[in-house]
C-alpha cells in the first residue's frame, strides 16, 4: 500500500482531480497564452508577483483587494502546468520552479497577514498564522523529502489546493465585513495543515517499515 492508498481510494489529490475535470477550460486558455508568446515559467512568475502584491494589500489591512488578488491567482497557478503539457516541454526544472514559487506565494500571504495582525495587536491571529504557515510549508517539505528517499507522500486532508479554497474566500469575506472569516479560515489551516503533515509522515513510516 502506498501513501496515497493510505489516504483514500482515489490516489489523486483534489488538485490533480480538478485539473483533469477543468482540462477543457484550462487548455483553451493555455493555447491562447502560448499563442501570445508566453512561456509556462512566465505564468508561474505572474502568479508569484500577483500573490506578493496581494500580500502587500493584506499587510496594509486591505483584505478585500488583497483577498481578491489571492483568489484570482489560484486559477493562474493551474495554467503553467497546462501550458507546459501543451508545449510538450514539461520538465523537472519547471515542476521545481512551480513548487518553490508556490511556497514563496504562501509565505508572502502569511507574512502580510502577520504584519497587519501585529499592527492591530491581534495576538491569537498572529499565533494561528504562524502555525498555518508552518503547517503549509511542512506539508510540502514532507512530500519533497519523502520523494528524495523514494517514498510517496502526497495524500492527506489539506493540500495546497484545499488551503487556497479555505484561505482566499476567508480573506475576501473579511474584506466584505465578515470579521470572523479570517480567524476561522486561518485556524482551520493551522490545524488541518499540520494534521496533513503528520498524515504524510505516518504514511512514509509505514512504507519504511515495509521496505525494511
pTM score of the predicted model: 0.87
Radius of gyration of the chain from Cα atoms? 18
Q: Is 18 exposed, middle or buried (0-12, 13-18, 19+ CB in 10 A)?
A: middle
- The string of DSSP letters for 68-88 reads HHHHHHHHHHHHHHHHHHHHT
Crossing angle between the packed helical segments 92-119 and 123-148, to the nearest 10 degrees: 170
Domain with residues 3-211, CATH architecture: Up-down Bundle (1.20)
Grid look-up 518553490 returns 100
Q: In a structure prediction context, what are the per-residue pLDDT tens digits for the chain, which is 212 residues long?
A: 333 433 333 456 666 677 677 677 788 888 898 888 888 888 999 999 999 999 999 999 999 999 999 999 988 888 887 888 887 766 677 778 888 999 999 999 999 999 999 999 999 999 999 999 999 999 999 999 999 999 999 888 899 889 999 999 999 999 999 989 999 999 999 999 999 999 999 999 999 999 97
- 10 included as an active-site residue: no
Q: Tell me which of 10, 77, 102, 150 is the catalytic residue.
A: 102
Could you tell me the residue ranges of all domains in the chain?
Answer: 3-211
Amino acid at each position: 500500500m502506498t501513501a496515497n492508498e493510505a489516504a483514500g481510494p482515489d490516489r489523486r489529490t483534489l488538485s490533480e482531480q480538478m485539473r483533469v475535470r477543468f482540462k477543457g477550460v484550462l487548455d483553451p486558455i493555455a493555447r491562447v497564452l502560448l499563442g501570445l508568446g508566453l512561456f509556462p515559467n512566465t505564468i508561474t512568475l505572474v502568479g508569484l508577483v500577483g500573490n506578493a502584491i496581494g500580500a502587500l494589500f493584506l499587510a496594509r489591512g486591505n483584505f478585500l483587494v488583497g483577498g481578491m488578488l489571492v483568489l484570482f491567482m489560484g486559477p493562474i497557478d493551474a495554467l503553467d502546468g497546462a501550458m507546459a503539457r501543451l508545449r510538450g516541454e514539461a520538465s523537472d526544472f519547471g515542476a521545481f520552479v512551480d513548487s518553490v514559487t508556490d511556497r514563496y506565494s504562501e509565505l508572502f500571504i502569511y507574512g502580510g497577514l502577520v504584519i497587519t495582525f501585529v499592527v492591530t495587536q491581534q495576538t491569537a491571529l498572529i499565533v494561528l498564522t504562524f502555525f498555518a504557515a508552518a503547517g503549509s510549508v511542512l506539508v510540502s517539505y514532507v512530500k519533497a523529502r519523502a520523494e528524495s528517499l523514494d517514498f510517496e507522500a502526497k495524500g492527506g486532508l489539506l493540500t495546497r489546493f484545499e488551503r487556497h479554497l479555505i484561505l482566499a474566500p476567508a480573506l475576501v469575506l473579511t474584506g466584505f465585513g465578515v470579521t470572523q472569516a479570517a480567524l476561522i479560515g486561518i485556524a482551520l489551516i493551522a490545524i488541518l495543515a499540520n494534521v496533513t503533515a503528520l498524515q504524510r509522515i505516518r504514511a512514509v513510516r509505514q512504507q519504511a517499515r515495509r521496505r525494511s
